[in-house]
Structure 1
Amino acid sequence: MKKNNGWKRLGQAGWALALACSVMLTGCGSSETAAPTANPESSQAAQTQTRTIKHELGETVIKGEPKRIVALEFSFVDALWELGVTPVGIAQEKETDVEGLLGQKIEYTPVGTRQQPNLEVISSLHPDLIIGDLNRHKDIYQDLQKIAPTIILKSRNSTYQENLSSFAKIGEALNKTKEAEQRLAKHKEFIDEQKKKIPAGDSRKVMLGVFRADSLSAHGAKSFDGELLEMVGIKNAIQDAPEPTVKISLEQMVQWDPDVIFLVEADDALLSEWKQNPLWNNIKAVKNKQVYNVNRDLWTRYRGLKSAERIVEEASEVLYGKKQE
C-alpha cells in the first residue's frame, strides 16, 4: 500500500489534469455547432492504430478502439458505462448486482464470479479487451492474456485516488482519454461543491464497519469510502491503519470510539453478541444513537465514480438531516 503522502500527490496531480481539461472543454464552445463531418479514412485509421497501455502487471498493446469488453470488477463496469460502453461480459455474484450498480438493466453475459471468472465463457465472447483487478486476478493474468488483450488495474482494497487513476487508465485503453478527463472534471466539481456544504466545525469521526462471522472489518482513512469522505471533510476514526480495511475486536472499537458508525450487517450473529456486551454500549456512536445501516453493495463493493457520488450524498443526508444538493 502506498504511503499517505503518495496518494495525496497522486490525487492532486489527477485533479489538476482533470481541471485543466475541464477549462479547455469549456473554452471550445458547443460541440453540437462545430461537429466535423465524419471522415471514413480517420475512422479506419482509428481502428487499425495500436497503442501500449501501462498497467499494474506490465504493458499491453491494444489495437483500435475496443468494443467487446469483459469487466471483472464492478468499478470497471461503472467506468465503461460512464464512458458510453456496455460490456459484453461481466463477473458478478448475483443477478441484481449490475442493475443495482447502474440503476437499470442491461444486456450482457455473466462470466462467473469476481473471485472465479469463467475463462471458457469469457473466451466464447471473443472480447477485444479484458479488464481485471490486481487483487483478485493477478494469478490468472497470463490466462486472460491468451484470450484477449488484458489490463490489470486496482479496484478491490484500493484507495479512492487509485480508483480515479483506474478510471483514467480505462479511458486511455478505450481511446477515450478526453471523455474520461471530462467525466473526472465533472466528478471533481461535485466533490468540491459537497465539501463546501459540510459544516467546518463538525469534529465528529465516522467508522464504516462490516460484520463478519468472527470480527468487524473496519474501513479506515485509506479505504475507498474512508478517503472519499475525507475529501469532503468527513473525518474517519481510523487514521493510522496500514491497510484500507482492518479486522478489529470490540475492545479496539472502543479504543477508536467513533462518533458515528455506518454499519453493514453482513453477519448479524456477531453484532447480536456485541450488543450484549457493556463495552458496545460505551461507544459514543452507540450511546448517542448514531449507528446507521447502509447498503453493503453501494458502500463496499461498487467503488465507481457514480457510486462515490451516491455515498457522499447518503452520508451527508445521514449526518446533517437532508440531502446536500
Structure 2
Amino acid sequence: MKKTMVILSIIVLTLTLSACTKDKEESTSSDLQKKESEEQTTKITYLNNHYSVPVKPEKILFLNAFESIEDAVILGIEPYAASAIGSDEEPFPSFFGDVTANTIPLLTTSGDSLEYVLQLAPDLIISTDMEDPKVLEQLEKIAPVIPTSHYGPDWQENLEMLAEITGKAEKAKTLIDQYHQDKQNAIHYLDSFQDKDIVAIRIRGGEMMIYPKDVFLNDVLYGELNLPVPEAINKVNQQTVITLEGLYQANPDYIFIQYDLYENDMDGSILEELQQSPVWKGLKAVESNQVFINAVDPLVMGGGTLNGRIRILEATMEALSN
C-alpha cells in the first residue's frame, strides 16, 4: 500500500512538472513570437500620425492610392498589386515603364476588391484618405494600412513616407533636391513671362474644364514656377466648365490641353471638332502656334506627386523655350 502511494506521488509530481514545463515553453514561445513580430515591424510618423509597418515589406498593395503608385514608380519600387489606372488591356500608363510589368492590377472598386485583397495577402496596404472609413477598417484586418493624403501640397511627405518604408530615403532626397534646383533655374528663366497668360485646360466629357490655381497643372505653373495667375483661373474655386466663347474672352498667350480618351467616351472627334471651330482658330495662342496637347500625359497625377511636378516643369520649359 505504502509502495503504491509512493508510485502515485511520483506520477503526480511528474505530471505537474511536465505541465509546468509545457506552460513555461508555451509562454516562452509566445514571448519569442511577440518579440520576433516586434522586431519585424518598425514605427513611422507620417503627417503627425504614427504607424507600425513591416521592416522590409515585400508585398505592398496600392489601393486607390494613385499618387503613391507614381511615387513608387519614380523611386523604382515595383508594386505587388495596384489599382488599375487604364484599361483591362493596359492597366497602367506607358510612362510607368517596366516598374509595373509584374504588378497585379486591381480592376474593381475598393469594396469589391476586399475579398481579392485578402487572397493576395499583402504585408502592407497603401490607401488614400479619401477611402470609405468602413473599407479602411476592413483593410486593417488584412494588413497594416496607411491612408495617404490626396492633398497636392503633401506630395513631399507622401514621397518621403514611402521612401522611408522601402529603404529609398536617399534616392528620394536626391530626386527632391534635383527638382528644387531645376525649379529655381526655371523660375529665373520664366521671369520674362510675367506679362503672359498661360492656361491649362482638361477636356472631360466633351467639355473644357479649368481648375483653381492650386489644382492639377496649375499648382506648379503658378505656385511653383511663379507664373502670373490669369483672371479666368482666379475666378474659379473648383473644376469649372469654360466655354469656347469664355476662352476667347480670356484669350491666353499659351494653352496646355490635356485630353484623355477614357474621359471622353473614347471619342477622339471631340478634340478634332474643337480645333475646327472658327472661334478656336481665332485664339491668340492658336494663331501663334502656342497650343500644347498632352505635353503632360493626362494620366499623370498633376502636381500631387514629384513625378507630376517634374513632368509639368519639363513640359513648361520645353513649350516656352521655343
TM-score normalised per structure 2? 0.69
Separation in 2, partners of 1:206, 1:298: 18
Q: Which residue of 1 aligns with 2:154?
A: 162
217-226 or 94-103: bigger deviation: 94-103
| One-letter identity of the residue aligned with 1:61 | S
Once the two structures are superposed, residues 93-113 of structure 1 have per-residue CA deviations (whole angstroms, 9 ceiling, x without a partner) of: 334453523233531211225
Identify the match of residue 232 of structure 1 among 202, 222, 225. 225
Answer whether contact 1:91 1:117 (CA < 8 A) is retained: no
1:70 matched to which residue of 2? 61
Residue 264 of structure 1 is matched in structure 2 by 258
Q: Is the 8 A contact 1:205 1:235 kept in 2?
A: yes
Aligned amino acid, residue 246 of structure 1: T
Correspondences of 1:140-151 after superposition (within 5 Å): 140-151=135-146
1:87-102 pair list within 5 angstroms: 87-92=79-84, 93-94=86-87, 95-98=89-92, 100-102=94-96
Distance in 2, Cα, partners of 1:148 & 1:259: 51
Residue 207 of structure 1 aligns to a residue in which SS?
strand
Aligned to 1:212: 204
Asked if the contact 1:299–1:311 (Cα under 8 Å) also holds between the matched residues in 2, the reply is: no
Alpha-carbon spacing, 1:248–1:184, altered in 2? closer, same or farther (3 Å): same
1:34-183 counterparts in 2 under 5 A? Answer: 47-54=39-46, 59-72=50-63, 73-92=65-84, 93-94=86-87, 95-98=89-92, 100-104=94-98, 106-113=101-108, 118-135=113-130, 140-155=135-150, 158-159=151-152, 161-174=153-166, 176-183=168-175
Alignment identity in percent? 21
- The 1:66/1:296 distance shift into structure 2, 3 A limit, reads same
Structure 2 vs 1, CA of residues 84 and 300 (structure 1 numbering), >3 Å: closer, same or farther?
A: closer
Per-residue deviation, 1:264: 2.3
| 1:173 to 1:296, Cα distance in 2 relative to 1, 3 A | same
Residue of structure 1 in register with 2:292 after alignment: 292
**CA separation of 1:74/1:203 partners in 2, compared to 1, >3 Å: closer, same or farther?**
same
The answer to whether the 8 Å contact 2:221/2:227 transfers is yes
- Contact kept? 2:41, 2:52, Cα under 8 Å: no
Judged with a 3 Å threshold, the aligned counterparts in structure 2 of structure 1 residues 252 and 150 are, in CA distance, closer, same or farther, namely farther
Residues 316 and 54 (structure 1 numbering): CA distance in 2 closer, same or farther, change over 3 Å?
closer
Amino acid of the residue matched to residue 56 of structure 2? Answer: E
The residue type equivalent to 2:140 in the other structure is: Q
Q: What secondary structure sits across from 2:52 in the alignment?
A: strand
Q: Which runs of 5 or more structure 1 residues have no equivalent in the other structure? A: 1-43
CA 1:206/1:180 → structure 2, altered by over 3 Å: closer, same or farther?
same
When normalised by structure 1's length, the TM-score is 0.69
- Greater CA drift, 46-55 or 166-175: 46-55
Larger radius of gyration: 2
Contact 2:54 2:124 in 1 (8 A): no
**2:162 alignment partner, SS class:** helix
Structure 2 residue matching 1:308: 3-state secondary structure: helix
- Inter-partner Cα distance in structure 2 for 1:108 and 1:308: 24
Contact map agreement 1:70 1:127 (CA 8 A) in 2: yes
Calculate the aligned-residue CA RMSD, in Å: 3.4
What is the CA deviation profile of residues 31-57 of structure 1, one whole-angstrom value per residue up to 9, with x for unaligned ones?
xxxxxxxxxxxxx8995343154459x
CA, structure 1 residues 46+283, in 2 after alignment: closer, same or farther (shift >3 Å)? farther
CA change 1:234–1:201 in 2 (3 A) is: closer
One-letter code aligned to 2:288: N
